Structure 1
Amino acid sequence: MLVVRPAGSADFEALMELAVLSGRGFTSLPEDEPTLRSRLALSEASFQAGVAPPEAWYTLMLEDLETGTVEGVAGVKAGVGLKRPFFSFRVVTLAQSSPTLEMRFDHKALVLVNECAGWSEVGSLFLRPEKRKGGAGRLLAQSRYMLIGIEPQRFAEMVLAELRGWFDEDGRCPFWEHVSHKFFRLDFDQADLMSASTDGQFILDLAPRHPIYTELLPEEARDVIGRVHRDGEAARAMLEREGFRYQGLVDLFDAGPTVACPRDDIRTVRDARRLRVKVGEDAYGEEALISTGEVSRFRAVRAPVLIDGETAILGRDAMDALGVGEGEVVRVKA
């Protein structure tokens, strides 16, 4: 059985392995030991309410209980842009007209903005390639919303997700090469690591202050603005099923799109029910998403459940995986 659980310091080796597998442009999983160890420590403190709620960053691991192997990772950041700006490019339309010529021209442009300060973020979703079928990705993705739904007040009223932008088969990022590199003058990997592991001051220092007219860009750079990486299409589809929508914002480095949704409108947050658990000796009912009812003891699984009024009847294996006993509260999303 697969279970989603809080990350701990003992997960460092597994997290580093996933970071290596994630490849270029996966900013939230840098191949940097101090950054990853710091993230695990922050996650442990967050689950135990050891940091102020807006500063919490919860890291979740997908574990195969039979093998003990960590198969994936995901995260929820309670607040972005609080201690460092959360910059994006907004894709805007600038209208210009000439009464003399009786003509109007609409120009697309990229404008540097810091619009999402204080929003929560779901991200860092990555699975081993061989585990991307069979519902593992869905379990890992939805577990983030189950976590938010336990105590919504820990999170902002708006929740965003950044999707990785387009890279070609050779690992080139057209937007970086033709646009962002002109301002930052670094290798992509170096800028990406600095973005994840520093306070981001270099972005504040070097990012463009004036609109960039997209018509002046090479076609291959224009074409990837707002385009999702081939490995991110499934993640985008899952986000859209939850209610997330494109916001007209793209990443500064790779032009990947930002999607967002009001916290209380996220489907899993909205529809999950709080029920008392009861053990059943056999598998019961239809398979559903089930989580614990406390942040500090968070775990989530997909398992058969029979809902009887305000009671969720679970098999023993599911209850053991969740670490709950009869009469405790669980949250269930059918």
Structure 2
Amino acid sequence: MMIVRHAAHRDLDDIYRLAQRAGESGIGLTSLPQNKEILAERITRTTRTLDGLSERCEASYLFVLEDTSIHKIVGVSAIEVAVGLNEPFYNFRVAKQVHASKALNVYKTLDTLFLSNDHTGCSELCTLFLDPEYRKNQNGKFLSKVRFLFIAAFRSFFEERLIAEMRGFSDQNGQSPFWDSLGYLFFNMDFAAADYLSGVGQKAFIAELMPRFPVYVDLLSSEAREVIAEVHPQTLPAAKVLMSEGLKYQGYVDIFDAGPTLEANTAELRAVKESRLLKVKLTEQVESTDTHFLVANDQYQDYAVLLINNKVDESETLHLTAAQAQALNIAEHDQVRVLALEKMENN
């Protein structure tokens, strides 16, 4: 059985193994560094948040996908409650400037990049990684969409605006044409080093070295211009999942690789608008349907979610087996929060 729950310290070794696998997939997954101390701190932040001990600027939820048949953590995803309150949160705002002269009969619109802190205080979806061996049976969508269901259940803990930074383009050698054309000129370090420092929280160098004046896109190399707001091919499926839930590109990109920032109003998320509470009925055998459902117990500290295709009857009751109910830590007649995957996503 596959189940998503909060991360715990007993999961550290498995999470570290996932970080190593993420490192094998290339540069750009710096929110999951190959550093046990930092990963342990991520788990501690989750525990403190669940215990009500974290300030909003430190609050975070790290989820794990567990294959209960072998007691193995095979994926992670996370939510930061409010970014940029402890350390500045940077990105580029893609904008335009007009240069005109009536005397010379010249009117030209130029694309520009402005260093921005506009997303300060937003909630953020981050740290999504699934073991390549488990990229099947809709596990990726399950692991990603759990976060939306959690937000729907506990709206008051999150901000009105939600963002997600998508990995930008880099080649098979981990080289970013955007970084090579812009960032390297100011930082004098390679893309991997700068991205790692940012990922582990050492961001002061950004404020110290990044240009505060607008950068004219036309001055960048053609290779750099072409990848602005482009999603890395390996990240495109994850981006499509987020967009299906209501997030979209609004003109902000990462300062390192120019990957797009997706964003949405929390109230407009599909999970917030369409998830519903159903009563549970236990049965020895369940009738399956073509529709898959995320089913959550809505227990804040002991949160658990399954992905099932059990039938919902006409009385708005969800039929579960005893094993499914036990996994969710619920009993007959308890309520669960249910979100159907869009029909076109079932495969």
TM bracket (short chain):
over 0.9
- Partner in structure 1 of residue 293 of structure 2: 288
How far apart are the structure 2 equivalents of 1:72 and 1:12? 12
What amino acid does structure 1 have at the position aligned with 2:170?
F
- Which one of the candidate residues 303, 306, 312 is aligned to 1:301? 306
- Aligned residue for 2:235, secondary structure, equals helix
Matched, 1:319 2:319: no
Task: Give the superposition deviation at 1:31.
Answer: 1.4
- Which one of the candidate residues 150, 154, 157 is aligned to 2:157? 154
How far apart are the structure 1 equivalents of 2:241 and 2:140? 9
How far apart are the structure 2 equivalents of 1:62 and 1:147? 14
How far apart are the structure 2 equivalents of 1:282 and 1:38? 42
Contact conserved, 1:3 with 1:65, CA < 8 A, in 2?
yes
- Partner in structure 1 of residue 260 of structure 2: 257
Matched, 1:17 2:9: no
Task: Give the superposition deviation at 1:314.
Answer: 1.4
- Partner in structure 1 of residue 344 of structure 2: none
User: Compared with structure 1, are the counterparts of its residues 114 and 53 closer, same or farther at alpha carbon in structure 2 (3 Å cutoff)?
Assistant: closer
User: Compared with structure 1, are the counterparts of its residues 53 and 327 closer, same or farther at alpha carbon in structure 2 (3 Å cutoff)?
Assistant: farther
How far apart are the structure 2 equivalents of 1:192 and 1:320? 42
- Which one of the candidate residues 42, 50, 55 is aligned to 1:52? 55
- Partner in structure 2 of residue 121 of structure 1: 124
- Partner in structure 2 of residue 39 of structure 1: 42
How far apart are the structure 2 equivalents of 1:198 and 1:53? 17
Contact conserved, 2:90 with 2:115, CA < 8 A, in 1?
yes
- Partner in structure 1 of residue 345 of structure 2: none
Task: Give the superposition deviation at 1:82.
Answer: 0.8
- Which one of the candidate residues 331, 335, 339 is aligned to 1:329? 335
Structure 1, unmatched stretches of 5+, are none
What amino acid does structure 1 have at the position aligned with 2:95?
V
- Which one of the candidate residues 24, 27, 31 is aligned to 1:28? 31
What amino acid does structure 2 have at the position aligned with 1:301?
L
Contact conserved, 2:59 with 2:82, CA < 8 A, in 1?
yes
- What count of residue pairs does the alignment treat as equivalent? 334
User: Compared with structure 1, are the counterparts of its residues 247 and 194 closer, same or farther at alpha carbon in structure 2 (3 Å cutoff)?
Assistant: same
Structure 2, unmatched stretches of 5+, are 341-347
What amino acid does structure 2 have at the position aligned with 1:329?
Q
Task: Give the superposition deviation at 1:323.
Answer: 1.8
How far apart are the structure 1 equivalents of 2:253 and 2:104? 34
Matched, 1:80 2:83: yes
- Aligned residue for 2:312, secondary structure, equals strand
- Aligned residue for 1:55, secondary structure, equals coil
Task: Give the superposition deviation at 1:197.
Answer: 2.1
RMSD over aligned Cα atoms: 1.5
Matched, 1:240 2:232: no
Please give the per-residue CA displacement for 1:109-154, whole angstroms capped at 9, x wherever unaligned. Answer: 1110100111100111111122222200010011001111111000
User: Compared with structure 1, are the counterparts of its residues 307 and 102 closer, same or farther at alpha carbon in structure 2 (3 Å cutoff)?
Assistant: farther
- Partner in structure 2 of residue 180 of structure 1: 183
Please give the per-residue CA displacement for 1:31-87, whole angstroms capped at 9, x wherever unaligned. Answer: 122211111111122223232345311000111111222111100111101111111
What amino acid does structure 2 have at the position aligned with 1:120?
S
What amino acid does structure 2 have at the position aligned with 1:141?
S
Q: Percent identity?
A: 35
| 1:143-222 equivalence runs, <5 A | 143-222=146-225
- Aligned residue for 2:21, secondary structure, equals helix
**Greater Cα shift, 281-290 or 324-333:** 281-290
What amino acid does structure 1 have at the position aligned with 2:332?
E
What amino acid does structure 1 have at the position aligned with 2:105?
E
Contact conserved, 1:284 with 1:315, CA < 8 A, in 2?
no
Contact conserved, 2:57 with 2:86, CA < 8 A, in 1?
no
**Greater Cα shift, 252-261 or 65-74:** 65-74
